[in-house]
Structure 1
């Protein structure tokens, strides 16, 4: 009969794989968030530079064009800020998913370790019983 700890090993292996997958998704989400934050920073920097450079507009038409362009940049900044918020929420979801997978893996590891310890003790008792049995049947000299 296969020891219980060995029968549980495939479940532990699967749990470890799920933890690794969740960690990889978490890392990918961290990168996606960093990229979105970088893009937001670039848009904000571009808007500041453009607004600073446009202080000397010459005609009303040029001023209106500049204002419309700044409004479009502001709209892009608002959209990107919304994307950053969405990426933050997604990151927290990935973190929770990883934490749950890791907790399950740890729990299975603990159960297996307990079973291994129980099996080791049972084997020690069996070996001691065999030694005691041999000692009883040993002939005195």
Structure 2
């Protein structure tokens, strides 16, 4: 006899695998986000250092070059902030994906547990009925 709990095992295993895959993707995204945050911090630090070093008297050409370079750093910072926003949105999407996968896994585990408990109670009732029948048979003898 193929029990309901046994029949659900492939679905439970598939849900467990999806949950684990979603968790791995979430962890990878968190690492990407951390790298993007680090890059932004480095760009901002570099811009501050470079802008502060420009206080020394220089030629007009050198000042223009420095100003253009600072503007390029500013554009890189803007781009990095946009990338950081994108990484945050991706992280939120993957977190929600993992939450749904984990909820499905938990629900299936709960259903299997309920079926196993029902099957155990049915087996206990069946065993008790057999014992009662044997006792009845012994009394008749």
How high is the TM-score relative to the length of structure 2?
0.97
Give the structure 1 partner of residue 119 of structure 2.
Answer: 119
What is the correspondence of 1:33-48 to structure 2 with a 5 Å cutoff? 33-48=33-48
Counterpart CA distance in 1 for 2:82 and 2:59 is 35
Is 1:71 paired with 2:68?
no
* Aligned-residue offset at 1:17: 0.5
Give the structure 1 partner of residue 21 of structure 2.
Answer: 21
SS of alignment partner, residue 2 of structure 1: coil
Counterpart CA distance in 2 for 1:24 and 1:45 is 32
Counterpart CA distance in 2 for 1:74 and 1:108 is 51
Counterpart CA distance in 1 for 2:97 and 2:140 is 67
Q: How many residues align?
A: 141
Counterpart CA distance in 1 for 2:102 and 2:12 is 11
For structure 2, the 5+ residue unaligned runs are none
* Aligned-residue offset at 1:57: 3.6
How high is the TM-score relative to the length of structure 1?
0.97
Q: Note the aligned Cα RMSD (angstroms).
A: 1.1
Counterpart CA distance in 1 for 2:3 and 2:65 is 78
Q: Deviations over 1:42-74 (max 9, x none)?
A: 000000000001111411000000000000000
Aligned structure 1 segments of 4 or more residues deviating by more than 2 angstroms = none
* Aligned-residue offset at 1:134: 0.6
For structure 1, the 5+ residue unaligned runs are none
Give the structure 2 partner of residue 11 of structure 1.
Answer: 11
